[in-house]
């Protein structure tokens, strides 16, 4: 089995090294990842700059391709040019920080897996909730148990799973929960400071608001200490509205209009 491993924290990040060390138990692992941090890059791709590739040796563990580009760039280039064959599985992570709820939309970690799904590969994104003690080795062991289980059940080509591991407090994780993605908005708060020239600058802070009505979501389950597994899709069509819109009448529009 050939596995493509990517991330958004950069190829030298501890999360990707830890995940590599576990994934080699499943098969051959090729690492193609951004040369530096690309967190919150979402599904961006590079079209006005070249994608410089450098072969690097990381943490005495693996040789991989460091790309001066986004997570989605890495997956595209890996599949098109760099891998010896088509991957059987694409894994992204482990991200330093959770990617639950609407964070999913901004996440480069999820985007790498989503790009793989677009290209027709089974894919899994893995993130670890931020806490003072980031035990990526343990998180990777947990992630591998989930990935093994997904493979046992069978991931179809183009299917994407978003896996989040809660903060590894004593007694956590409390189990694995399948959940839906939360849509609770982030309550944006920009901290305002002055630069040396006296101009204002802003830095995004903020947090999720009231979670009391969150039930069955990844955000809720993660806050309760569970590993969450969310099946995602990249087709953004709203099926319900699409059906309702079939009867809409439109003004006559033709070539003469």
For Mn ion, the binding residues (CB under 5 A) are 8-9, 39, 95
Query: Which residue's Cβ lies closest to Mn ion?
Result: 39
Q: Which residues of 15-34 are buried (b: 16+ CB within 10 A; e: fewer)?
A: bbbbbbbbbeebeebbbbbb
Closer to Mn ion at the Cβ: 8 or 73?
Answer: 8
Smallest separation (angstroms) from Mn ion to the CB of 4: 18
Q: List the beta strands (DSSP E) in 35-172.
A: 53-58, 62-67, 89-96, 123-128, 160-165
Smallest separation (angstroms) from Mn ion to the CB of 200: 27
Closer to Mn ion at the Cβ: 30 or 107?
Answer: 107
Nearest CA to 145 out of 1, 5, 17, 22 is that of 22
Smallest separation (angstroms) from Mn ion to the CB of 69: 15
Closer to Mn ion at the Cβ: 95 or 182?
Answer: 95
Closer to Mn ion at the Cβ: 39 or 182?
Answer: 39
C-alpha–C-alpha distance, residues 168 and 165, integer Å: 8
Smallest separation (angstroms) from Mn ion to the CB of 124: 16
Nearest CA to 8 out of 55, 52, 45, 41 is that of 41
Closer to Mn ion at the Cβ: 96 or 214?
Answer: 96
Smallest separation (angstroms) from Mn ion to the CB of 95: 4
Place of tokens 């027709």: 120
Nearest CA to 229 out of 132, 155, 168 is that of 155
């Amino acid at each position: 089995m050939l596995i493509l491993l990517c991330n958004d924290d950069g190829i030298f990040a501890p999360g990707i090294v830890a995940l590599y060390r576990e994934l080699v138990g499943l098969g051959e692992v090729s690492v193609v990842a951004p040369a530096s941090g690309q967190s919150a890059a979402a599904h961006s791709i590079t079209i006005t700059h070249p994608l410089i590739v450098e072969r690097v040796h990381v943490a005495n563990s693996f040789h991989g391709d460091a790309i001066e580009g986004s997570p989605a760039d890495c997956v595209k280039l890996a599949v098109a040019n760099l891998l010896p064959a088509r991957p059987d599985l694409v894994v992204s992570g482990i991200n330093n920080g959770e990617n639950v709820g609407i964070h999913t939309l901004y996440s480069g970690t999820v985007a790498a897996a989503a790009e793989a799904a677009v290209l027709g590969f089974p894919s899994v994104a893995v993130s670890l909730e931020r806490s003072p003690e980031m035990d990526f080795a343990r998180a990777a062991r947990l992630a591998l148990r989930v990935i093994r289980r997904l493979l046992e059940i069978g991931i179809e080509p183009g299917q994407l799973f978003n896996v989040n591991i809660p903060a590894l407090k004593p007694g956590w994780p409390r189990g694995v929960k399948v959940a839906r993605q939360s849509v609770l908005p982030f309550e944006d708060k920009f901290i305002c400071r002055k630069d040396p020239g006296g101009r204002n600058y802003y830095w995004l802070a903020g947090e999720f608001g009231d979670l009391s009505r969150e039930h069955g979501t990844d955000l809720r389950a993660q806050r309760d200490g569970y590993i969450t597994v969310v099946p995602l899709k990249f087709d953004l069509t709203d099926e319900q509205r699409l059906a309702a819109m079939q009867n809409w009448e439109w003004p006559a529009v033709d070539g003469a209009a």
